[in-house]
Amino acid sequence: MINNTAEEYDAVIRVCRALFIKKTKDYGTAWRILRPSSITDQIFIKAQRIRTLEEKKISKVGEDIISEYIGIINYCIIAMMQLELDQNAPAELPLDLVEIEFDKKVNETKELMFAKNHDYGEAWRDMRISSLTDLILMKIFRVKQIEDNAGQTLASEGVKANYQDMLNYSVFALIKLDLK
């Protein structure tokens, strides 16, 4: 079987985007009220739940690992949008702007993925899904530390790059889980 990362990536994002847009139609952009640390904590909750499900193999709430990875992707996109939106921008954003910003963040992140895949040779394909979960959790702790340091870093990439990595790790996990 020949892998086509671009097609697989796009298929995963289509599912995430469709859910994101439906929720935006239902709730508007209520997420605009979230501070960066709250978004990071939402991603943490989802990643920690995935890890618990991986270890215990039982869900008592009915949502599965796939839905949690989708949630991580969408929260990472929210985080990146919040980083760039003017704090004086209205809380309620028009749907067409949300769609444009969603696509912009995904395209930037996908370009980063292809650059890294070139250098790493798609090593993620040989990784366990549980390792992708652990990498997401590690990135969350990095973001929390950067947030606790008021965004200041000495030798590290900033929070946006970490959100992009978490988004890409989640896409990789969903590809491996055969989400279509």
What is the predicted pLDDT for the residue at 2? 59
What is the predicted pLDDT for the residue at 62? 67
CA distance linking residue 80 with residue 117, whole number of Å: 21
Query: pLDDT of the chain along its 180 residues, tens only?
Result: 557 999 999 999 999 999 999 999 999 999 999 999 999 999 999 999 999 999 987 766 666 899 999 999 999 999 999 999 877 788 999 999 999 999 999 999 999 999 887 788 889 999 999 999 999 999 999 999 999 988 777 778 889 999 999 999 999 999 999 876
Phi, psi of 28 (to 5 degrees): 70, -155
Instruction: Enter the pTM of the model.
Output: 0.93
What is the predicted pLDDT for the residue at 119? 80
Question: Which sign does the torsion angle of CA 63, 30, 14, 142 carry?
Answer: negative
pLDDT tens for 13-46 read 999 999 999 999 999 999 999 999 999 999 999 9
Q: Where along the chain do its domains lie?
A: 5-176
State the CB neighbour count (10 A cutoff) for residue 161: 15
What is the predicted pLDDT for the residue at 43? 98
* Amino acid occupying residue 90: P
What is the predicted pLDDT for the residue at 58? 73
What is the predicted pLDDT for the residue at 59? 66
Which residue, 113, 129, 149, is CA-closest to 13? 113
What is the predicted pLDDT for the residue at 40? 97
What is the predicted pLDDT for the residue at 90? 86
Q: Which residues contact 27 (CB under 8 A, 6 or more apart)?
A: none
CA distance linking residue 151 with residue 169, whole number of Å: 23
